[in-house]
Chains A and B, each alone.
Chain A
Amino acid sequence: MTLGFYPGCSLTGSSREYAESVVALCEELGIELKQIPDWNCCGATAAHNMDKELSLSLPARILALAEKDGMTEIVVPCAACYSRLSTTQYELNQDETLKAKVASIIGMPYKGSVKILNVIQMLQKYAVDKLADKIKKPFDKEVACYYGCLLVRPHEVLQFDRVEDPQTMDVLMAQVGAKPIDWAFKTECCGAGFSVSQPDIVGKLSGKIVKDAVDRGAKAIIVACPMCHSNLDMRRPAIDSYLKTKVDIPVLYVTQVIGLALGINREKLGLPRHFVPVTFA
């Protein structure tokens, strides 16, 4: 089976390991990923903060290219890209005039019909029933599933799980043998796009998240978003300085955890690229 694939910028740079683990896992599961030709950046928080039409046009171009290539379903592992693409599709589907305007800005026809899946949705749809048979080494650790903002909100657009205390990732983790803990910061914001411009805020917000996970006995934090990952993993100095202590809990992508359980090797999953060393497996 082949699915369209939008890696997004982070997955080609600072979050390469996410892309690597997604690809490795899909390979293992017999899913072929085909990149959208000549894709561009979704604009992320910056476009969204600065100009509404730009923030709609950049994702619209991506979706239009996917349509042009005949894709009906695309996988978008980055939660930020996923949110931007989904919101754009939703907003344009609500407003035909705006849709026409955006189509003229990007200079391409745009229908808005491509189905957008995040990694969790993709796994739920195409992999869940295959997982049990393929597990080689259950990931039997206490994990704190961290959803962040972009996967669950706004609910009316994303229709993903319940807004408070979501469960989908917990269920998935349990399926590969992990023990998801009950904790309070599942959907609190990590500081998102302030990573560079407001590192102190990121240190504080991410610090609270990491601390709660550690306090409640998690051995790893599981994420499905490169922004969450870089804030929780790379920004450890800021986090540690906010918490006034050093915390060494590793942060893993869902795909890495499942990959480990399926026996994929750590290099293929990009684990060595983490700042906080991952000592499992």
Chain B
Amino acid sequence: MGHHQPHEESGLAADVKKATGVVAEKCYQCGKCSAGCPVADEMDLPPSLVMRMLQTNQPENDEKILRSKTIWLCLTCEMCIARCPMSIDIPKVMDFLREKSRTEKKISSNANDIVAFHDSFLLSVEKTGKLYELGLIAAYKLKTFHLMQDVAIAPAMIQKGKLHFIPEMVKDRGNLSSIFSKTIKKK
């Protein structure tokens, strides 16, 4: 009788909609996002393809998205949304997908380096309240075994006074660790 029965929404696209307000169906697959994305050629799934896969509402595609390198490669540079004719907030979607991929332990092995860096970064912030760059690099190297990377740069940085040997500390560290335990450590 011309009345649409609102059907139960489930799947990744529905989760995206709930968390970010982005409606995947709005994407008409023009490809402008992929055309302008600075890292599209490095991605396993260019951004417009991610949107298309969300539209298919197929569990196997949902899985591929959460396990993609793409979501970790996205730089949140916001170029895609700045030019999307339908104003689809892909960076926001990517934020959500990353968090979901992380909490569901589906992080792509190709993205290990990127995630290791984020982890090391946050570890430093959690411990000191600020970024301790030397500590960050050390922690990152330990996590990734990229032991030789940046050995050329470090001495120069030290020489130019760009690296501290002793971390600066936030005084109220209890407050910081409580913030971490109420957010990222919860999941």
Contact = CB atoms under 8 A, between A and B. Distances in A.
Q: Do A and B have CB atoms closer than 8 angstroms in the complex?
A: yes
Interface of A: 9-10, 12-16, 38-41, 43-54, 57-58, 61, 105-107, 149, 153-155, 163-164, 187-189, 191-194, 196-199, 201, 205, 234, 237, 272-275
Contacts of B172: 38
Main secondary structure of the interface of B (DSSP, over half): helix
Interface stretch (B7-15, B59-67, B126-134): B126-134
Interface stretch (B25-33, B50-58, B94-102): B94-102
A201 B38 CA distance: 9
A40 B175 CA distance: 11
Nearest to A153: B78
B162 A40 contact: no
A51 B99 contact: yes
A78 B156 CA distance: 22
B130 A40 contact: yes
16 contacts: A9-B131, A14-B162, A38-B171, A38-B172, A49-B98, A51-B183, A54-B184, A57-B182, A105-B178, A106-B175, A153-B81, A164-B82, A189-B75, A197-B117, A197-B140, A201-B39
B98 A40 contact: no
Nearest to A20: B161
A48 B184 contact: no
Given A105-B179, A189-B38, A196-B140, A49 B118 contact: yes
B179 A198 contact: no
A41 B120 CA distance: 14
| 5 nearest A-B residue pairs (beta carbon) | A9-B131, A153-B78, A189-B77, A46-B121, A197-B117
B170 interface: yes
Contact of B102 (A13, A50, A106, A198): A50
A40 B168 CA distance: 10
Given A13-B164, A38-B172, A205-B39, 13 more contacts: A9-B130, A13-B131, A13-B162, A46-B118, A52-B99, A57-B183, A106-B175, A106-B179, A189-B79, A193-B117, A196-B150, A197-B140, A198-B113
Contact of A46 (B81, B117, B133, B153): B117
B142 interface: no
A38 B76 CA distance: 28
Contacts of B168: 12
Contact of B175 (A107, A201, A273): A107
B104 interface: no
B113 A205 contact: no
B91 to A, nearest CB: 8
